[in-house]
Amino acid sequence: MATLPGAVHAVRYDRYGPPEVLRVVAVPRPVPDRGEVLVEVHGSGVGGGEPAIRQGRLRRVLRNRLPQGVGVDFAGRVVGVGEGVNGLATGDAVWGLMEHLAFGSTAEFVAVSAARVSLAPSGVDLVEAAALPSVGTTAVAALVHRAGIRAGERLLVRGAGGGVGTVAVQLGAALGAQVTALTGSRSVDLVRELGAQVVLDHRTTRPSDIEPVDVVLDLVGTDLAAYRRRLTDRGRLVALAVDPVRPLRAGLAIAWNGAVRRGRFLTFSNDPSPEHIMQLAGYVEDGTIRPVIDSVVALDETAEAHRRLERGGVRGRIVVDVRHRGRAKRPRPPTAGGSTNP
């Protein structure tokens, strides 16, 4: 990615540490290279796994160099098109993700490969749409492409009240699965409203309390062996989270299980194709999936968003309204995105 003088703003950190390391800084305005588009970002999602990365817990796994940006997904308007890009034009309302394992969408502008971008779903506000690209493509990949979930199967979503979980509950229910959700107490009503038939508080539920299920979608990363034992004979466990307290050990255990229990223990690092980003837009347009927004914060409140994720109890996703600075917009109750693209 080339750069030109002319400052724009982005959230960065130049050392690992508490949320206070996140600062809004002036950076050169990016210029799209060949195959890239320049997007003026309206909204950027705040990932549930990002506080652990900012703390440096995963530095030996990810090997990211400092300074680092934050944010994987974005929605906004195309304001520049590099050579060789077809199918996207200046003015298009788009959404997408940064390159695989890269961060930096919490910024006024991003230049990214056109393969990571598609037209945004119509009928959804571009700030609210930013809640979905990474968690939505992850949930679709987990349930549809990897687990191949079928109508009538029993699905357990562990971590159901968060970003990935609130999409997985909606998708699982729409595909005809019987959904059991393990979630924090603040999200119980929300998760039931999204389509879960049984909702259990994770603080008072043991793995042995769970009836056998055909698919476990794990978004927590601990106690995987205990949840694997809740699977039926044809069951599959999709393990997407790494225990942040022991990331190396947990990552190795997940990789080992994936290798020796093929077909039954599944794991992946989300890296969606352009078709999968478009498939997600289709699910939003046909009403299968809606963004679940915990709250919308201003660019200079990204650190507060990380603090809230660390405290727990966030319902759905926090989204940064990148064009907004100053005091927080009043948090709204979790809701579906509804208004048309501005």
Ligand X SMILES: NC(=O)c1ccc[n+]([C@@H]2O[C@H](COP(=O)([O-])OP(=O)(O)OC[C@H]3O[C@@H](n4cnc5c(N)ncnc54)[C@H](OP(=O)(O)O)[C@@H]3O)[C@@H](O)[C@H]2O)c1
47 lines the binding site for ligand X (CB under 6 A): yes
48 lines the binding site for ligand X (CB under 6 A): yes
Q: How far is the CB of 323 from ligand X (least distance, A)?
A: 23
- How far, in Å, CA of 99 to CA of 276, rounded? 14
**Region of 16-24, 123-131, 182-190, 327-335 interacting with ligand X (CB under 6 A):** 182-190
Q: Which is nearer to ligand X, 103 or 109 (CB)?
A: 103
**Region of 74-82, 155-163, 228-236, 278-286 interacting with ligand X (CB under 6 A):** 155-163
Among 312, 325, 332, 338, binds ligand X (CB under 6 A): 312
Q: How far is the CB of 181 from ligand X (least distance, A)?
A: 9
30 lines the binding site for ligand X (CB under 6 A): no
- How far, in Å, CA of 171 to CA of 293, rounded? 17
Structure tokens at 97: 């993700």
Q: How far is the CB of 301 from ligand X (least distance, A)?
A: 17
Among 135, 140, 266, 289, binds ligand X (CB under 6 A): 135
Q: Where are the alpha helices (DSSP H) in the chain?
A: 50-54, 59-62, 126-129, 133-140, 163-174, 188-193, 224-228, 247-260, 274-285, 302-311
Q: In this structure, is the dihedral angle defined by the CA atoms of residues 35, 122, 91 and 339, taken in order, positive or negative?
A: negative
17 lines the binding site for ligand X (CB under 6 A): no
Give the gyration radius of the chain's Cα atoms.
Answer: 19
- Chain centroid, CA 221 distance in Å: 16
272 lines the binding site for ligand X (CB under 6 A): no
Using DSSP, state whether 152 is helix, strand or coil: coil
- How far, in Å, CA of 330 to CA of 308, rounded? 14
State how beta strands 68-69 and 93-97 pair: unpaired
309 lines the binding site for ligand X (CB under 6 A): yes
Q: Which is nearer to ligand X, 177 or 292 (CB)?
A: 292
Structure tokens at 206: 């043991």
Q: Which is nearer to ligand X, 159 or 172 (CB)?
A: 159
Number of residues that bind ligand X (CB under 6 A): 29
Among 68, 106, 138, 180, binds ligand X (CB under 6 A): 138
163 lines the binding site for ligand X (CB under 6 A): yes
Among 21, 93, 155, 164, binds ligand X (CB under 6 A): 164
Q: Are the beta carbons of 139 and 64 closer than 8 angstroms?
A: no
97 lines the binding site for ligand X (CB under 6 A): no
Q: Residue 48's CB: how many other CB atoms inside 10 A? A: 19
Going by C-alpha positions, the residue among 158, 145, 151 that lies closest to residue 270 is 145
- CA distances 324 to 67, 95, 222, 291, Å, are 23, 18, 37, 20
Q: Which is nearer to ligand X, 78 or 217 (CB)?
A: 217
Among 39, 219, 266, 299, binds ligand X (CB under 6 A): 219
Q: By CB under 6 A, name the binding residues for ligand X.
A: 47-49, 135, 138, 158-159, 161-165, 182-184, 186-187, 202, 219-221, 240-241, 269-270, 309, 312-314
